[in-house]
Amino acid sequence: MSNKRDYYEVLEVSKDATENDIKKAFRKKAMEYHPDRNPDNPKAADKFKEATEAYDILSNPEKRSSYDRFGFAGVQSDFSSVNMGDYSTFSDLFSSLFRDDFFGDDIFSQFFGGRGRSRRSSGPQKGSDLLMDYKIDFEEAIYGTKKVVEVPIKKECVECKGSGAQEGSSPKSCPNCQGSGVETVQRQMGFTRYISQQACSKCRGKGSIIEKPCKTCRGSGRSDENEKIKLEIPSGVDSGFRLRIRNKGEEGRSGGTRGDLYVRLIVDSHEFYKRQGDNLIVELEIPFAIAVLGGEIKVPTPYGAEKVKIPKKTKEGQILRLQRKGIQRKTQYGMSYGDFLILVHYSIPGKLNDEEKELLEKLKEISKMPSKQEKLFKKLIDTSKANKVDE
Ligand SMILES: [Zn+2]
Ligand SMILES: [Zn+2]
C-alpha cells in the first residue's frame, strides 16, 4: 500500500477530469490490461487491478471528493483489502461499462470471447446466421436471375412455444449456476487470484434445465420448417459469390432478432464458354485457309455476335483477344468488363465436296515440307547411311 500511485496518474487523467473522461480512460486501460487478454503477463494483471481500483474511486463522486481531500487515507477502508475475488460486483461494473452506446454489445461479447452472450441467456438472443450453397446455370450467373429457394429454418416449436418442456411442466432453474448460465472459475498465479467466467457446464449457459422434454422438439424448443426465400442474383456473379439476405437466418430466442442467411453460389460449367475471372475463353476451330490467309468470322458472345478479324498467319494455339467483350459485372465503381479470348485451333475438314477436293489436290502437289524440317531429315538420312556403310 505504501508505494501506490495517484489514481489520476494511473488513469492518466487530470484532476478536473469529467466522469466521462474517467470512464473513457478506464476503458482504454481495461482493454489493454485485462487478464483474459494477457494470460502470460502477470504485470498486466497488476496494472488492471490498479486501474480498476482507481476507476472505482474516481467514478464515484463521494469517494472521489474524499480522495481529493484526504488522499488514500480518505478511501482506504474501501479498497485496503481489494482483491479480484469480488468478481461479481467487479464483473457487473465491467460489463456495464462495455455495454453502453459507446462500444455496443459486440465489443463486450468479443472481449469475453463470446461469454458476454451467455451471461444474458435469459434475455433476447439473436438467431444464428445460416450458410447454404446454391447451384445456378452459367447463363443465370452471366445475366443475373431471380430465384425462390426453400430453406429449412429452425423456428419456435408450436407445441411447447419454444420452452422445450412438455405441456404442464416448465424448465427449472439450473442448480449449478442458479439460473445465471454462468460459472465462475478461479485460477491462482503467484499471489494473484484470477477469476473468470464461462458458460455453465451443467446447463450449457442456458440457465435452466428441462426435466420433461417436449416430444415434438425433444427439448430444443425449436422445429425445422421450410421457408421460401427470394434470391436476387446480380449479373456477372461467379462461383463463390455470397449473397447476404438479412433477417432470414434462424429465429432468435426470447424475442431476439433473426440471424442472416448467406447463400454461396456455385456456377455450373458451360459447354462452349470457360470463365477465368471476368474473362471468357472460347476454343474455336478455324478453317486452315482463313488462319493462313486471314479473314473474318462471327463469334457468339453472351451479349451478342461479334465479328472477329483473323490476322494473316494465325497460328494453332494462338489467342485472339476481344477487349471488354467478356463478363459484364456491376461494381461499386460502375460496370466492369472482362475480355473475350479466342484460343485458335485449325480445323481439319471432314467430308469434302468436289471443288474442295480438287483445290486440295492442287495444293498437295505444290506443297513442300517445311524447309527447316527438310534440312534435319536430310542430315539424319545421311548419317544413317554412313553408319550402315561402316558395319
Ligand atoms: Zn417443443
Ligand atoms: Zn447452469
| Ligand positioned closest to the Cα atom of 216 | 1
| Ligand positioned closest to the Cα atom of 217 | 1
Give φ, ψ of 58 to 5 degrees.
Answer: -75, -20
Which residues neighbour ligand 1 (ion) by CB within 5 Å?
A: 157, 159-160, 214, 216-217
* Residue 147 Cα to chain centre, angstroms: 23
First-to-last C-alpha distance (Å) of the chain = 108
Q: 173 C-alpha vs ligand 2 centroid, how far in Å? A: 8
Q: 179 C-alpha vs ligand 2 centroid, how far in Å? A: 6
The whole-number pLDDT of residue 390 equals 54
Q: 162 C-alpha vs ligand 1 centroid, how far in Å? A: 6
Extents of the domains making up the chain: 7-113, 126-161+220-269, 273-347, 354-390
| Ligand positioned closest to the Cα atom of 198 | 2
* Residue 332 Cα to chain centre, angstroms: 20
The whole-number pLDDT of residue 219 equals 87
**Helical spans, DSSP H, in 299-370:** 354-366
Q: 105 C-alpha vs ligand 1 centroid, how far in Å? A: 30
- Radius of gyration over every alpha carbon of the chain, rounded to an integer in angstroms: 38
Q: Which one has a higher pLDDT value, 157 or 88?
A: 157
Q: 156 C-alpha vs ligand 1 centroid, how far in Å? A: 8
Residue 33's pLDDT band (boundaries 50, 70, 90)? Answer: confident
Q: 52 C-alpha vs ligand 2 centroid, how far in Å? A: 28
The whole-number pLDDT of residue 292 equals 92
Q: 307 C-alpha vs ligand 2 centroid, how far in Å? A: 73
Q: 101 C-alpha vs ligand 1 centroid, how far in Å? A: 36
Q: 115 C-alpha vs ligand 2 centroid, how far in Å? A: 14
| Ligand positioned closest to the Cα atom of 156 | 1
254, 123 in Cβ contact below 8 A?
yes
Average pLDDT over residues 262-291: 93
For residue range 102-113, list pLDDT tens digits in order: 333 333 333 333
Domains 126-161+220-269 and 273-347 agree in fold: yes
> Coil, strand or helix: which one is 330?
strand
Q: 165 C-alpha vs ligand 1 centroid, how far in Å? A: 7
Give φ, ψ of 101 to 5 degrees.
Answer: -60, -35
The DSSP symbol for 238 reads -
CATH topology assigned to domain 126-161+220-269: HSP40/DNAj peptide-binding domain (2.60.260)
For residue range 117-138, list pLDDT tens digits in order: 444 445 788 888 888 889 999 9
Short-list 253, 274, 254, CA closest to 127:
253
Q: 182 C-alpha vs ligand 2 centroid, how far in Å? A: 7
Q: Which one has a higher pLDDT value, 99 or 316?
A: 316
Residue 84 in grid coordinates: 479480484
| Ligand positioned closest to the Cα atom of 154 | 1
Q: 296 C-alpha vs ligand 2 centroid, how far in Å? A: 78
Q: 117 C-alpha vs ligand 2 centroid, how far in Å? A: 14
Q: 149 C-alpha vs ligand 1 centroid, how far in Å? A: 26
Burial level of 101, CB count in 10 A (0-12/13-18/19+)?
exposed
| Ligand positioned closest to the Cα atom of 201 | 2
Q: 213 C-alpha vs ligand 1 centroid, how far in Å? A: 8
For residue range 166-223, list pLDDT tens digits in order: 888 888 899 988 888 888 887 777 777 777 778 888 888 888 888 899 988 888 888 8
The CATH number that domain 273-347 falls under is 2.60.260.20
| Ligand positioned closest to the Cα atom of 162 | 1
What is the value of pTM for the model shown?
Answer: 0.54
The whole-number pLDDT of residue 245 equals 93
pLDDT at 84 over 50: no
The CATH number that domain 7-113 falls under is 1.10.287.110
Among 28-37, 54-63, 77-86, 357-366, the least confident range: 77-86
pLDDT at 230 over 80: yes
Q: 186 C-alpha vs ligand 2 centroid, how far in Å? A: 17
250, 261 in Cβ contact below 8 A?
no
Q: Where are the beta strands (DSSP E) in 89-211?
A: 130-136, 145-156, 172-173, 182-189, 192-199, 208-209
